[in-house]
Every structure is written in C-alpha cells, then in structure tokens.
Structure 1
Amino acid sequence: MTDTAQHFDRDLIVIERELDHLNRLAKTLDSRFRLPGTSIRFGLDTVVGLIPGIGDTLVAAPSAWIIWRGHKMGIGRRHIARMVANSAADYVIGLVPVIGDLFDVGFKANLRNVAILREQLGARHQAHSAAQTETRAAA
C-alpha cells in the first residue's frame, strides 16, 4: 500500500469518528427521546426550544457546530448552504410558539445536516477509491 493510500485510510478513520460524534450530537438534539406509546421522537432542540425567548437561540450553537465541522471537512459551498438553510428554517420557525416546537419534532434539521455530510463524504471516498483503482490498473 502506498503512503498516499495509507494517509487516505487514516483520514477516513478520523472522518468516520468525527461523523459518529456529530451523529450522536444530532440524535441528542433531534431524536433522543420517544413520546411514550408512539413512534414520535424528539430531542433537546424541542425541549430547550420550549423556553421562551432564548431556547431556540441556545440550541442554534450546536447546530452551527455541525455546519462548521462540515466546512472544516471540506464539504462544498452548495452543501454547506443546504445545511445553513436547514438550520435557519429550524431556528426561524422554531421561534413561533407551539408551531415551532411541532416543526422541530418533524423536521430534524441536525439529522438532515449530518446526512448531507455523510452523503458528500461518502461520494468523495468513492471518487478517490475509483481514482486509485484506475491508477493501479494503469501501472
């Protein structure tokens, strides 16, 4: 295995750990709890969002962290923009009493954002693997 391939494999391990961490954070924010007797899940985003005035602002910080980590992992601008739009919708609609909290239960912006990260990083991995295969075949 070449040094480049080993470096890429180490990077993949680091990225997978980061994605697992971000996924746990997103689950805590969006689906940590289950409404008894139903399949309805909600998280701290919904619970803290019940605090008038500051609740939604408090949970905006971890949402911003997920987006920032995506940027640091090299996600493209278009996908970062999608993540920002998800979090912005969650924040703005979340400011509306009751309706915003119901929206939080269904929309799950943080889980959507982690899914975007996984999708884009998976596509990058596939492209790199295909390039390595072509390089090996040409050699």
Structure 2
Amino acid sequence: MRSTPNDDFYFRDTSRSRGSARAKIIDQDGREIPAGADGFEAGAFGAFKQGAAASGGFEFIAAFQPLTREQRLARLDAIAKLLDVAFVVPGTNIRYGIDGLIGLVPVIGDVITTAFSLWLVREARALGAPWHITARMLSNVAVDGVVGLVPVAGDAFDVMFRANVRNVRMFRRWLERQPR
C-alpha cells in the first residue's frame, strides 16, 4: 500500500491512557462541568450501565450526557473522516467521503456539507480554538463551499481539498502545542 502524507491522521491512535484520572467534562458551550454535577455515572460512552445482577440486563441512564473533551475530539475526527475520507475508489488510492457524494446535488448538497463543516468549526471554537485557528478553519470552509458550487470541477476539488480533515488536523496540532 502506498503511503500518503496524511497516513498519520487516518491511522493514528489518539487515545491516551492517564491511569485512573478522569477527563474534564465540557458542555456544548465549552464550559467545564464539575465531576458528579450531572448526577450520572461517567462511563466510556455514558449511555448504559450494567443492570441488576439478577436480571443481567442493561438499563438506560443518559443518552445525552455531556461528553468529555477527549470524546468531543474523537467525534470531530470521526465526522471529518466520514465527510472527507471514508471511502476509497476501487483500484486507486483516491479517498472520498460523503461530502463529495452529497455535493453532487447542485447547490443544496453544497449548502448541507458547508453546514456540517461550519458545525466542526463551531465545535473546535467551543473546545478552545483561538481566533487565528478559527479564521483559518473558516477560510478553508469558505474555499470548499465556493469552489464546490462549480458543477463537476467543484466536486473533484471537494474530494482533493478535504477541508474538514485539514481543519481537524490544524486544530489538533494547535492542541498538541498547548501546555496541559
């Protein structure tokens, strides 16, 4: 398999073990929630916990529990990959995502994919991205959205430019340089 410059992004393991320390829980507005303030147990996904021993089943506790910072970053990675590099053209090394597929629908498809891209920028901002990173992310989204409006060439550009992967990679690199 031929190596691409982005292999570190596609296949890098972003999980970090920190012993028994729990990660901060950040709400949708970027504010930290104190541990136990939500009244729910924090688990890996937080949606289910083991039920009573007699029943051996699972009980639903909180589907919309606040996510930790690491979970929100993993969600950004997953959505960016789904939008830009989820699939491979058979027989080639060309990767594309649902951004390229939805973008085939004239105008409306590009508006929808631009909305997804803007949500990624908003989420990065809520996670602490400074204005200069946010501005660069918005410029990538603008270029992707405007050029994507051109019927066939815009769709090819969408597949090659990968604005969402670029934005998440840029945000992650900025995060890695920050003191913990």
Please say if 1:18 is aligned against 2:80. no
- What residue ranges of structure 2 are gaps of 5+ in the alignment? 1-20, 26-66
Describe the SS at the equivalent of 1:10. coil
User: Does residue 34 of the first structure (1) align with residue 47 of the second (2)?
Assistant: no
1:56 partner amino acid:
D
Equivalent residue, structure 1, for 2:167: 113
CA contact (8 A) 2:23 2:70 kept: no
- Amino acid corresponding to residue 109 of structure 1 in structure 2: A
Q: CA deviation at 1:68?
A: 0.3
Return the offset for 1:9: 6.0
Pick from 82, 90, 93 the counterpart of residue 147 of structure 2.
93
Work out the number of aligned pairs and report it: 119
Structure whose residues are more often helix by fraction: 1
* Cα deviation, residue 15, structure 1: 2.1
Gaps of 5+ in 1: 1-7, 129-139
Q: Quote the offset at 1:96 in angstroms.
A: 0.4
Aligned equivalents of 2:170, 2:22: Cα separation in 1: 21
Name the Cα RMSD after superposition: 1.7
2:73 maps to 1:73: no
Query: Which AA in structure 1 matches 2:70?
Result: E
For residues 27-73 of structure 1, the C-alpha deviation after alignment (integer angstroms, 9 at most, x for no partner) is 11001111000010001110010001211001111111110011111
2:136 and 2:69 map into 1 onto residues whose CA distance is 20
* TM-score, reference length from structure 2: 0.62
Answer 1 or 2: which has greater strand percent: 2
Is 2:112 the partner of 1:58?
A: yes
Distance 2:87 2:129 in 1: 30
Q: Give the fraction of aligned pairs with identical amino acids, expressed as a percent.
A: 42
Distance 1:66 1:28 in 2: 12
The whole-number CA distance in structure 2 between the counterparts of 1:37 and 1:58 is 29
Q: d(CA) in 1 for partners of 2:88 and 2:24?
A: 35
* CA shift for structure 1 position 11: 2.7
- TM-score, normalisation: structure 1: 0.80
1:17 deviation in Å? 1.4
Q: Distance in 2 between matches of 1:122 and 1:9?
A: 19
